[in-house]
Amino acid sequence: MQGMTNPPGLPADLEVGRENAELCLLARFFNGFSNSTRLSIMLLLARRGEMRVGELVRELGAPQPRISDHLRCLSWCGYVKVRRSGRNAYYSLADERVLEVLRLGWEILQDNVDRVRSCEEIDGRQRRRPA
């Protein structure tokens, strides 16, 4: 397409379209931020640094298996890292850029709170459109 410029920081060859594998992978990356438990884990780790599973369970009031499942997902996908010391596992954010994504998301949300709250597409509550 003529007349298009590429935004800084995005690959010039990233094609758009539903069937584009790289774009689908990017959407999948953002799905990592789409769960309130995962977001809570990342926010706690950003605020407190390293934490053990039991500490996260106490703070979030969620069952240990659920927290462990989310931590496995977050760790596998590179949002958090784990450091083992004896029988203990300590989780922390894997990359400062994860915090930046959270920060940017929060800033954008503040400018669009009412719209995001009422959007029926984001959470799948699609309305039937009149014919």
Check which CATH number belongs to the domain holding 97 and give it.
1.10.10.10
What confidence tier does 20 reach under pLDDT thresholds 50, 70, 90?
confident
pLDDT at 30 over 90: yes
Q: What kind and span of H or E run contains 9?
A: none
Inside any domain, residue 72: yes
C-alpha span between 103 and 48 (Å, rounded): 16
Amino acid 32: pLDDT: 92
The boundaries of the domain holding residue 97 are 27-114
Inside any domain, residue 63: yes
* 66-88: average pLDDT: 97
Inside any domain, residue 15: no
Inside any domain, residue 46: yes
What confidence tier does 3 reach under pLDDT thresholds 50, 70, 90?
low
* 71-84: average pLDDT: 97
C-alpha span between 108 and 89 (Å, rounded): 34
Looking at the structure of the chain, the number of domains it has is 1
String of DSSP letters for 13-63: T---STT-HHHHHHHHHHHTTS-HHHHHHHHHHHHH--B-HHHHHHHHT--
* 22-30: average pLDDT: 90
pLDDT at 87 over 70: yes
